[in-house]
Amino acid sequence: MMDNESICLPCTPEEEARIVKELTEKAESCLKEGNLYYVISSRWFTRWQRYVGEETGEHELKEVATVNQVSTLTKAGERPGPIDNTDIITNGDGRDGGDLQLHRTLNERSDYVLVPQVIWEKLHGWYKGGPALPRQMISVGIQKTLVVEVFPLALKLIDSRDKSEIIIHISKKASLRKLYEQVSTIKSVDPEKFRIWDYFNDCQQTALANSNITLEDSNLQMDQSILIDIQADGFVPSRFGMDSTGNQLALVPMEPQRSSRTIAGGPSLSNGYEPDYGSSLYQGSTFSSVSADMEDAREYVKTAPQRERGLAGLQNLGNTCFMNSALQCLVHTPPLVDYFLQDYTDEINKQNPLGMHGELAVAFGELLRKLWSSGRTAVAPRAFKGKLARFAPQFSGYNQHDSQELLAFLLDGLHEDLNRVKQKPYIETKDSDGRPDEEVANEFWSYHKARNDSIVVDVCQGQYKSTLVCPVCNKISITFDPFMYLSLPLPSNTTRSMTITVFSGDGSSLPMPFTINVSKYGYYKDLFQALATACCLESDETLILAEVYEHKIHRYFDDGESLHSIRDNECIVAYRLSKKQAEFPKLEICHRYLENGKLGERKRFLTPLVTYLEDAKNGASIESAVASVLGPLKRKTFSSLNKSEVIKVNGSVLEESISDFQMDDVFDDGFEDKISEETELSFRLCMTDDRGMSCKPISRDSIVKPSKVVKVIMDWTDKDHDSYDASYLKDLPMVHKPGLTVKKTKPESISLFSCLDAFLKEEPLGPDDMWYCPGCKEHRQATKKLDLWKLPDIIVFHLKRFSYSRFLKNKLDTFVNFPIHNLDLSKYVKSKDSSGGSSVYELYAISNHYGGLGGGHYSAYAKLVEEDRWYHFDDSHVTPVSEGDIRTSAAYLLFYQRVKTSKPNTTMGESSGDRYQYQYYIPDSVDEARDLIRLPTSVAGKKQARVFGTHSDEDGQD
């Protein structure tokens, strides 16, 4: 193959793009396990995309951001050099056979791309270079999802004879037999004369049989150790196979020890099922269950001292801190602890098609029991992670993930695995139709409970009221939906200044810059509203916002895009047009001029203009549209076009821009000969296709095919320069840097209640989330209002610190001041039914995220309720922490438990500096009140004392 590649003839950029596109479509049509893909550095691949005129997306943004620092970058439109993958590979130590591996921190699309084997062969034939980084497609999870295994399993092979170490790489889908063959090749030893041991945490776990069981099902983890025990003449195990007394250890799997404290509380093996039940449940994965049970069998023999229960850490298995953080919060949720420490076998639902056959609930319950029985010994959640990867392939591998996403999956999965409803009835919901809210809410909740009934629903699910109002017919729709957690936005008062030039799409006015202030963490719609106010936008008009880069439209802003994604060096422009005109075909005009007066040496210049075409049939219509939009720039010394020749035009958006090579080479030297004098336009115009891959000179009688988008290139001549003042289209202002306007005196702080208010405020639905109004029989952009109706015993607040857009991911480090005691939600609850319980909550766990998106770290704070003491769970490390230190800007998930009070007049709420929980007592008489007031402080502070309005304020005064 490599020999044949050397004879590949050079192709034009258009041909390369076409060939790659066709091969990609063919490869995607026959995806199957075992297909080879190749890893290519995004830095090189982006250059190639720009060369052939493809949309580069976020890869180009990354390169543009560093274009000033890296002098070797290929200029846009130039042919890239040889393929260069050296920036993404690592040379690691002890690699077998020179196998090249990638840096573990790399992310697909931003750091590398994956291309099918046939495309790699073409690219390598055209450009050479490398090195080649082949990766195999595998199937993961019970759904057999096809993914490319970019990071194979890395195992540290230890030789028991001399303790030598070597790193081997092998697919997690490979069998143990394949592992034996690979080790046999490396050590030059017959597979029959050695045994491989699972040596996780440098502790001999189980013997790995030479079988067809996969490494994944054997619970082998990235970067863990395996031990090779080589026989001499006859089998003589080394000292690694001896116990502390020198006795030979068993080299076959031993039966897991029985324990009265099994996963589900019954007298069975530690997997919690009777033998016949377990065999049917774990078909195809029995080895992993036995292996997991053997790994921790000795932990069940002993029970941790009462004072050390719940203080076990979780070992990090390779970027699993996100999982450990969420798990520690869940295993310290009191109702769940009580449930899983008891016998819950009867509630396991194997038949639920929405569940995981009960296996996720069993794995979670087993892990919870280990954590509550192992004292302070850290637990390795290998068996749980294996189940997680099987049912949720998105969490497989060893990349960092979101603890909130994992929490959502776990709660939903545990609910379905423990759902007491075996056959879910079909229920058709009814509209409220003006009925009382209490009646409708109870009806919706009964419908929900008829299909969903589990410990998760009992403890973690609440209900909120959703009100939709049609803006046209004022139809009101009220529904009551369940929730498992509340995702709260983080409102911000920090602003940034932005200067944006507004162009008139119909040529009615000159371009005008406007400077506005918007929230630094706002969205496109906030920018749109501020700019519309500044430029006095009429009710029948609209604005299209776009970024201009290198004199072309680089991208247009989505409605949900975060403004934090706008880079400091961007030029933002807006095109003003009427809403009616926006429905017509759109025309984008890009500008070039002749450099040194030579044809073929054209350069882009000026800001691209966007307008529209109404009833456009030929080139004369396009000419008139261009003349009209340039009208405000016409110098007074020249006559204008006949008004009868001008049609109405206005601006709009396009989805793609024209690449550098097209702008440079679109015309040839015979351009003047292609348009006769009879049909010559006033401007030199060329039409291009949607992708900008072909261009055609335009004459007056050129036929314009009906299309939503028409793209043209305008060549400016000396005559045009004399006729129009192009200075208005030059030197656009860049947006101001946030650092110039944001004060950095202290971190921004908001309250949890502000986040709740932002979550519950009324707002219109987005254009992509339209509501079908039953009154209008049309999709409408209705207004939506949420209210809390029924609160659960456990409520989880998800602080939305991460914002994602097409081009950027961002994290907000805003400090949220949340109550630890007496979180009062009564003012947010709209239900008048007091039987739901108290609306006051106590904080008991926090999932924290530190750092940025690329190299962040998760940990957890959890409270042992019995001790009334907080602890910091940082993977394997567990340390006490004071209550005053748990409020940080790293808080990501907040776990609260309902306070069960016997007195109805428990104080609600907590000031930022008050951490005391106290009660007001109404005395029966004045004498009793006097007696209470005369109580000494030492007595008044005791739990048994009835205190009337006594507490310490921020100054320490009683």
- Count of Cβ atoms closer than 10 Å to residue 772 Cβ: 12
* 298 within 8 A of 258, measured Cβ to Cβ: no
Dihedral, CA atoms, 935, 936, 938, 939, nearest 10 degrees? -20
Strand partners, 116: 37
Query: How far apart, in whole angstroms, are the C-alpha atoms of residue 208 and residue 193?
Result: 14
- Residue 379 backbone phi and psi in degrees, to 5: -105, 135
The SS3 call for residue 870 is strand
Query: How far apart, in whole angstroms, are the C-alpha atoms of residue 365 and residue 381?
Result: 12
The one-letter amino acid code at 930 reads R
Chain position carrying tokens 């067809």: 212
The SS3 call for residue 488 is strand
The one-letter amino acid code at 818 reads F
* 488 within 8 A of 797, measured Cβ to Cβ: yes
321 is catalytic: yes
Query: How far apart, in whole angstroms, are the C-alpha atoms of residue 46 and residue 59?
Result: 6
Token pair in block for residue 240: 């690694």
CA 246, distance to chain mean position in Å, is 52
Strand partners, 157: 166, 226
> If phi over 0 gives left and psi between -120 and 50 gives alpha, with beta otherwise, what is residue 332?
alpha
* 622 within 8 A of 679, measured Cβ to Cβ: no
* 312 within 8 A of 374, measured Cβ to Cβ: yes
The one-letter amino acid code at 921 reads Y
Token pair in block for residue 759: 């979550």
Strand partners, 229: 195
Query: How far apart, in whole angstroms, are the C-alpha atoms of residue 92 and residue 915?
Result: 51
Q: Among 169, 554, 736, 857, which one carries the catalytic annotation?
A: 857
Chain position carrying tokens 């951001």: 65
Query: Which ranges of 711-751 would DSSP assign to H, the alpha helix?
Result: 718-723
Q: Which of 616, 630, 612, 623 is nearest to 576 (CA)?
A: 612
Q: Which of 176, 201, 172 is nearest to 393 (CA)?
A: 172
CA 114, distance to chain mean position in Å, is 20
Q: Which of 575, 531, 317, 346 is nearest to 454 (CA)?
A: 346
Within 8 A by CB and 6+ apart from 941, the residues are none
The SS3 call for residue 48 is helix
Strand partners, 780: 771
Q: Among 59, 321, 332, 755, which one carries the catalytic annotation?
A: 321
Query: How far apart, in whole angstroms, are the C-alpha atoms of residue 557 and residue 518?
Result: 15
Q: Which of 628, 670, 666, 679 is nearest to 649 (CA)?
A: 628
857 is catalytic: yes
| Greatest CA separation for the chain | 112
- CA distances to 35, 88, 937 from 206, in Å: 33, 36, 61
Query: How far apart, in whole angstroms, are the C-alpha atoms of residue 71 and residue 659?
Result: 21
The one-letter amino acid code at 105 reads T
The SS3 call for residue 782 is coil
List of long-range contacts for 946-953, beta carbons under 8 Å, 24+ apart: 946/919, 946/921, 947/918, 947/919, 947/921, 948/920, 948/921, 948/923, 949/920, 950/918, 951/914, 951/916, 951/918, 952/914, 952/916, 953/914
Active-site residue numbers?
321, 857
